[in-house]
């Protein structure tokens, strides 16, 4: 029995330019076939066990041909899978979605189209350029620089009224500008190029049509880029108000979906342009023992707290049975997770480090302690408790594993890591960073690991929280 295929438009640039319908469809899929230029956070919305297949060009690997992609979609659907074909922009705006659907129809495979936000409208809009404006441009035309015939009729394009929007044309920018002028467009026609639109690295250059190629080259713009030609390109309706202390700063946040989500939101609230790369995930491991006989339960992360709460729910453990048992949390984030279900921590160190939690537990004179933590976490808590004569059981209840996302080279101002495993997984899987990118790490051990993979500048967050990451970047910028 064949499966089902969602042809999903992923929007342009940032993950939050994808529709809610698209996200909901993606969550249902157990196979995701996606383009290279989509936000790397999007495949992370699929089920953790979903097969992720990148068919775009990455790290020197050639992109799959359209015929190969068509065959792959059909193959996965005939295996009975629910397939997401995740395409940049909108499937039907130079996305070749129609060709893929034609193959599904030939095979009798059921499908659904989920429209996406096209870069032809969204990217100029993000740059403050309206593709239409009353009395200036009552129409707009979307043109691909890669025509099926391999030729361009610039005289015909130049004669069109309204705004011209060229996609996939940055390499031919000079040819486009000169061709439009030869075709009748005036030299001083307003033009703009928006590079890497909708991402943390978006940049815009405006100039007269005759000068736009030189201006873009001088600014060092790179593909992908959207080219806008017409009177509307002279407008700048972009936000002119500073959004916060990190306004204009670009940051890549790596790690699990939960970590990248929480940290990214806080950075964005303070003006940063953020790219998420959720390349790792947490999985359950080990069995939580019976809670009888423990005087204190210590949590070293929000993940451990979440899994303990899930364990109590699944095993119908009444939290009232923990009356008299002290709850210890390493930081405010872990404390918030516990408090959300009514477990108010009794012990939280002033500094959010494991060693400080150990010292606090020892000074409180607690009896037997149950430590619930990550398999790859530090042994420091148990070691200090042992040195202080405090009895404990150290139980590893979850593990961190690679998500299997394709490697990417990031060129943002900062890249954030939340664990040593995240650093190792990032670099050993082939991802990299620009020589000008500073590394921000939670904790000294993560920073030590990062120093083995990069010779660039490393910033260590003062507190092991999203707020600590924000504060460390703000302080670094001020210095």
Structure tokens that stand for 366 in this block? 């607690």
User: By the 8 A CB rule, do 282 and 304 touch?
Assistant: no
The answer to whether residue 262 is catalytic is no
Distance CA 335, CA 346 (A): 9
Q: Could you tell me the end-to-end alpha-carbon distance of the chain, in angstroms, rounded to an integer?
A: 62
Distance CA 82, CA 28 (A): 7
Distances in whole angstroms, Cα of residue 274 to Cα of each of 71, 257, 269: 35, 14, 10
Nearest to 206 by CA among 318, 270, 263, 124: 124
User: By the 8 A CB rule, do 329 and 303 touch?
Assistant: no
Distance CA 157, CA 6 (A): 34
The answer to whether residue 168 is catalytic is yes
The one catalytic residue among 168, 355, 356, 448: 168
The one catalytic residue among 27, 28, 57, 61: 57
The one catalytic residue among 18, 35, 360, 411: 35
Distance CA 44, CA 47 (A): 8
Instruction: Give how far the C-alpha of residue 267 lies from the chain's centroid of Cα atoms, to the nearest Å.
Output: 13
- DSSP 3-state of 411: coil
Distance CA 148, CA 236 (A): 34
Taking each helix axis as running N to C, give the angle between helix 354-364 and helix 380-387, from 0 to 180 degrees, rounded to the nearest 10. Answer: 30
What residues act catalytically? 35, 57, 168
């Amino acid at each position: 029995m064949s499966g089902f295929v969602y042809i999903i438009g992923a929007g342009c640039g940032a993950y939050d330019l994808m529709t809610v319908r698209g996200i909901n469809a993606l969550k249902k899929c157990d196979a995701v076939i996606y383009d290279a230029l989509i936000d790397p956070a999007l495949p992370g919305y699929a089920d953790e066990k979903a097969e992720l297949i990148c068919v775009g060009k990455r790290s020197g690997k050639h992109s799959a041909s359209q015929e190969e992609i068509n065959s792959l979609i059909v193959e996965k659907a005939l295996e009975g899978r629910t397939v997401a074909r995740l395409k940049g922009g909108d499937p039907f705006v130079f996305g070749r979605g129609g060709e893929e659907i034609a193959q599904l129809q030939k095979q009798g495979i059921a499908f659904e189209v989920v429209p996406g936000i096209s870069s032809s409208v969204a990217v100029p809009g993000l740059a403050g350029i309206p593709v239409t404006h009353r009395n200036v441009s009552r129409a707009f035309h979307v043109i691909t620089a890669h025509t099926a015939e391999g030729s361009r009729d610039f005289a015909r394009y130049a004669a069109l009224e309204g705004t011209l929007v060229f996609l996939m044309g940055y390499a031919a920018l000079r040819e486009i500008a000169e061709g439009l002028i030869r075709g009748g467009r005036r030299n001083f026609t307003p033009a703009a190029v928006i590079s890497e639109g909708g991402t943390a690295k978006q940049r815009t250059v405006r100039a007269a049509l005759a000068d736009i190629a030189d201006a873009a080259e001088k600014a060092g713009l790179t593909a992908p880029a959207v080219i806008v030609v017409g009177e509307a390109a002279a407008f700048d309706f972009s936000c002119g108000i500073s959004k916060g202390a990190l306004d204009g700063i670009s940051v890549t946040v790596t790690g699990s979906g939960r970590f990248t989500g929480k940290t990214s939101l806080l950075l964005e609230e303070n003006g940063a342009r953020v790219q998420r790369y959720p390349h790792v995930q947490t999985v359950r491991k080990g069995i939580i023992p019976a809670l009888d006989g423990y005087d204190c339960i210590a949590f070293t992360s929000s993940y451990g707290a979440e899994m303990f709460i899930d364990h109590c729910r699944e095993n119908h453990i009444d939290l009232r049975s923990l009356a008299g048992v002290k709850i210890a949390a390493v930081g405010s984030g872990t404390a918030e997770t516990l408090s959300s279900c009514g477990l108010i921590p009794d012990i939280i160190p002033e500094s959010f480090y494991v060693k400080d939690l150990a010292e606090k537990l020892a000074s409180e004179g607690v009896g037997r302690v149950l430590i619930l933590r990550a398999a790859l976490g530090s042994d420091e808590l148990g070691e200090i408790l042992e040195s202080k004569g405090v009895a404990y059981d150290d139980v590893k209840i979850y593990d961190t594993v690679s998500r299997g996302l394709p490697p990417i080279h990031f060129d943002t101002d900062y890249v954030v890591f939340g664990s040593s495993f995240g650093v190792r997984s990032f670099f050993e899987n082939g991802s990299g960073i620009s020589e000008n990118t500073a590394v921000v790490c939670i904790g000294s051990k993560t920073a030590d690991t990062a120093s083995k993979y990069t010779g660039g500048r490393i910033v260590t967050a003062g507190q092991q929280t999203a707020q600590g990451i924000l504060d460390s970047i703000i302080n670094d910028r001020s210095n």
